[in-house]
Structure 1
């Protein structure tokens, strides 16, 4: 019996030691996990991507939204030259090296530790060889984009603050403008001198504000054409200029206040034109979709509405 008892005691001791070691290893792994410098992010395109918990060298290849990085307190290490569409933002980023979609070496040279890109970007696989790459959902709107940026930069609270401030400004605008925009139609038209493009929601060019934030709608004829074409944009022909007639028209212009459409009799006959209900924005005002640019555009749109009867 003594031998059996000793054997049992030895086995119990071994079991106790093994259990203790196992628990110790588990605790160590959990601690290591907590102290890890990376996190897993699911971007719905690449699925799970391991990214730095606190990225330092970030490049956003979607130039339209790169201004958000500054608002989040994260200066990018590279920007595309198309940031020039907003001269103020370009000046603010003048010392940041330029990167080019057609020159992957310009991206590699900046040694990024995190890259963000559109789902339509043809270079995604090349970016993935340089650094962890987050791909924006193709259905993401301007608010969704900011949320992704804030999440992967570990700056979610700042992102929430930006959105809260934006929503408060929009609510004030809607209250101040009241009946001028409530239940009113507006059609956004991008001017290309020789032709014009009618734009629906989700296409930038101020649509984030007049359609998205203010809740206005395009004219009924434009809505009908969008449905017929199963698209949210189309080229405006001279014969169909009256499509865009409604309470307001927002013209996005390349060359000051000039456009060939303004010389047409069909244009002059539009009710919105007769009522001086045409908003005019430069391409610099409306090309980018970051909140720094959008806020400036919002102010200009609101001021123009306020000056209309």
Structure 2
């Protein structure tokens, strides 16, 4: 058995078959992906052009939109190319880049959501000290830290995963390169790396999630003593972020906090579509529906376009 063959291309088995029902699902996924790119790009433009949105809160939101755009752009082109052309191969380098960017963006989003929850905590519980406790230098450091921590995780897992020997098995039962799926193909003993990868994923999820829950626990304790009008406004402000956190962490925990032996490939594919395509499309919708400043900015942008024409 060839135990040193790590240069051959991998084969992504994909998500859809060439049936009429799967063709409809494929078109639906592409439509949602395109809507995600447009909605997040529009969010970025609005935040950039409207000076009233030049605050730490909206800067963090713009980073979330940018991460979502990059995530869709990392996953969907390979999915579409494989289905439309039948060319399902991907080089080891391409596979490594997919693992790196997927984990960088996923891990970065974990910490970014924690930073956004801290921003909401300061804004609601310490509004008079907001410029000090949520200063621009701190906001930039938290944003940079989110990117760096995500990139460190992505680089480590990509390098270690591709250094395994894969024998003659190169078929990945997924629509993109994901480290846990790739490890299954290795003919080396991967138990130590699987354990380390599991611990790393748990920490990347639970540490930010614990910070988010702490922030919202303090927010809840503070708003319960407020007058009803202020309480309603505070809860409305937080509801969008909580909805995004629920969508993101629900899918991520379902995938990464189960032992590998309890991860059926078909279930993983469906959930992966949800958090790589559907969730990035829902995030800007959730934030815009409950945010009057974004809706006002959109109206003004459309009015300016209409006046120019």
Q: TM-score, normalised by structure 2?
A: 0.24
Structure number with the bigger relative contact order (C-alpha 8 A, sep ≥ 6) is 2
Greater share of strand:
1
Q: TM-score, normalised by structure 1?
A: 0.24
- Structure number with greater Rg is 1
Greater share of helix:
2
